[in-house]
Amino acid sequence: MVHDRGASPQVHKNRRDWHNLRNMLPFLWEFRSRAAFALLCLILSKVANVGVPLLLKQIVDALENKPEQVLVLPFGLLIAYGALKLSSSLFNELRDIVFAKVRYRAMRRLSTRVLEHLHRLSLRFHLERQTGGISRDLERGTRSVAQILNYMAFSILPILVEFMLVGGILVTQYDLVFTLITFGTVLVYALVTFAITEWRMDFRHHMNQLDSEANSRAMDSLINYETVKYFGNEKLEVDRFDRKLGEWEHWAVKSQTSMSLLNFAQGAVIAVGVTFIMIFAARGVTRGEMSIGDLVLVNAFLLQLFIPLGFLGIVYRQIKYALADMDLIFKLLEREPEIQDALNAQPLIVTEGSIVFRQVEFSYQPERPILRGVDFQVPGGHKVAIVGHSGAGKSTIARLLYRFYDVTGGSIRIDGQDIRQVTQDSLRAAIGIVPQDTVLFNDTIYYNIAYGRADASRKEVEAVARQAHILEFIESLPDGWETRVGERGLKLSGGEKQRVAIARAILKRPRILVFDEATSSLDSRTEQAIQETLAQVAQHHTTLVIAHRLSTVVDADEILVMDKGCIVERGTHGELLALGGNYAEMWELQQKKRAENDLARNKQELR
């Protein structure tokens, strides 16, 4: 069922076509000399092209008026005719060769700038975006720049140059009526084209919007492939995709039907114009005011003008579509990152690596506070753990420390420096993290570990893999280090992914380490081995551990217990057990659960 067919999508509202075209100029400036030479080749090509009908007129008149010179004069004109044809083709191809570098470099520069800008945008944007939709928008938007350059260089400018040359010849050498009919036909043609195309644009915008939405749904279902399989909802996902394509089909049919109407209207205008021109030309010949060569010349000019003019309607439509697509890109580029460096931000200078959260308040939405007056300190070289039930705000602390978001109240300082006053690059360079949800690149295991420090040697990569207890696993694989991990690391188990993440964090050699549920996907035996490794790695680092398993933080210098965004208890493991509060209750529950698991495992082994 198709809904809301009469609604107009907002994507095309308030577009600034001229503003966007001006924004495109910097991408051409690098090769301005090439662009100028391509323009010169274009002009020379059109001069040669317009010269062809002039020579054709002279050939016809020579054959008509001086048949005795047929073996002399026309021969020279025919050679010149062929030379002009060849020159026109030569300059056209030269224009294409010279302009190719301009076009593709502009696409490259814009694509690079968009990707760079996407990486600058804040975490909130990336959490809210739809991957499939934005990838389709980016693809269309980047391609639109090449399309506009193509249309300008190979369609619009050639037609304008040729129209001016032909118009000049008609005005100076023939009756005014030919000029009026030619210019009048072009004007009516343009008005009809613009009017119908503007009416059709709404159909195209609906198609683009629905195309992006359908692609988003398809990508979302593929990214969540396992979830779809768990619940047997393949048909549901295909049906949702097909319903959206059904809406797209409705607008696509309307777009195609209206295009046929436009093509007929354009053909009718050209047919009327050509008919009037030929009537007046034939009358001039019968009255002796024009020669047969003049009639041939006028007819050739009409063909040269109206044949490409027929494509101008298509070009205009495509430019409008390309401008709509390009508008999405430039609006994205104009979107300011939520988190920006301060005006005079300085690099973070890390000495001891101490961290201070001072009365920190934070909320993702104003009506839903996450942290309420969080106040604690991690002295340099110490290990502080944060524990609590899900939703207590533990992982938000790691995001704030990385400055993915800014606090709404209070401050966060590293070695006395407010992290809002230092550069983001230097802040993040000083912190290494093993996240709760480890996502890997669809590349080799070696690439994913070496990502921690791009200039690391292979020996260093192998050393950190050994520290993270994953080297033996890697060497047992058929492809070893060159094993590809799949989309988001899906070919590895949860524990294997986390060990890759631990190795990657160690390789970075940061002064501050953050472990966000770093051992949550590991079995007890591997967890114990990893814990020993983490303890060794953390000896000379400031370490912040966010944990659910309390057994992983018993050696912390201080443990903070969070509940509903507040720190409700703090102290060492022994002190908190003696307190008999939330921590002691969590510890008792987890120990009981662990004992049950051990008992079940022992029974399984006995069988």
Average pLDDT over residues 140-152: 77
Are residues 282 and 421 both part of a single domain? no
Lowest model confidence (mean pLDDT) among 3-7, 217-221, 355-359: 3-7
Instruction: Give 134-179 as a 3 state SS string.
Output: HHHHHHHHHHHHHHHHHHHHHHHHHHHHHHHHHHHHHHHHCCHHHH
pLDDT tens-digit profile of 407-416? 999 999 999 9
* Residue 256, pLDDT score: 85
Do 82 and 138 fall within a single domain?
Answer: yes
Between CA 255 and CA 201 the distance in angstroms is: 8
End residue of a domain, out of 509, 527, 562: 509
Residue 186 sits in the same domain as residue 214: yes
Q: Looking at residues 510-521, what average pLDDT do you find? A: 79
3-state helix, strand, coil in the chain (%, to 5): 70, 10, 20
Q: Say yes or no to pLDDT of 6 above 50.
A: no
Supply 197's token pair: 């195309």
Distances (CA, A) of 245 to 211, 250, 446, 464: 7, 9, 41, 49
Q: Is residue 104 domain-resident?
A: yes
Rounded CA separation 528/373 (Å): 34
* 373 and 229 belong to one structural domain: no
Q: What gap in Å lies between CA 73 and CA 135, rounded to an integer?
A: 63
Q: Quick one: 423 and 538 in the same domain?
A: yes
**Residues 280, 203 share a domain:** yes
Its pTM stands at 0.66
Residue where the block lists tokens 């195609």: 256
Please, where are the H alpha helices in 70-224?
Answer: 73-120, 123-128, 131-151, 157-173, 176-223
C-alpha to C-alpha distances, 501 to 394, 431, 474, 504, 516, nearest whole angstrom: 19, 14, 14, 5, 11
Residue 485 and residue 425 share a domain: no
Is the predicted pLDDT of residue 133 greater than 70, yes or no? no
Mean per-residue pLDDT over the chain, rounded: 81
Give the mean model confidence (pLDDT) for residues 90-114: 82
Q: How many CA atoms lie within 13 A of 138 on its CB side?
A: 20
Structural domain boundaries, residue 529: 352-430+513-572
Amino acid at 222: L
Same domain, 152 and 172: yes
pLDDT at 13 > cutoff 50: no
Retrieve residue 15's tokens: 């577009």
CB 543 within 8 A of CB 383: yes
Residue 597 lies in a domain: no
Alpha-carbon distance 97 to 107, whole Å? 16
pLDDT value, residue 296: 79
Q: Is residue 531 part of a domain?
A: yes
The answer as to whether 497 is a domain residue is yes
Confidence at 5, pLDDT banded by 50, 70, 90: very low
**Domain final residue pick, 487, 509, 531:** 509
Please give the tally of structural domains in the chain: 3
CA gap 281, 547 in Å, rounded:
91
Measured in whole angstroms, the distance separating CA 345 from the mean position of its chain's CA atoms is 28
Residue 36 lies in a domain: yes
The reply to whether 519 and 568 lie within a common domain is: yes
Same domain as 367, residue 245: no
Q: What is the CATH number of the domain that holds 536?
A: 3.40.50.300
User: In terms of domains, do 382 and 449 share one?
Assistant: no
Model confidence over 548-588: pLDDT tens digits?
Answer: 888 888 888 999 999 888 999 999 999 999 998 899 998 99
Instruction: Give the largest CA-CA distance in the chain.
Output: 124
Could you tell me if residue 452 is inside a domain?
yes
Taking the C-alpha atoms of residue 545 and residue 516, their distance in angstroms, rounded to an integer, is 6
Q: Examine residue 4 and state whether it is found in any structural domain, yes or no.
A: no
CATH number of 308's domain: 1.20.1560.10
- Residue 487 belongs to some domain of the structure: yes
Judgement on whether residues 158 and 211 belong to the same structural domain of the protein: yes
Rounded CA separation 214/241 (Å):
6
Q: What angle (nearest 5°) sits at the alpha carbon of residue 402, between those of residues 397 and 408? A: 60
Top-confidence residue, 518 or 102: 102
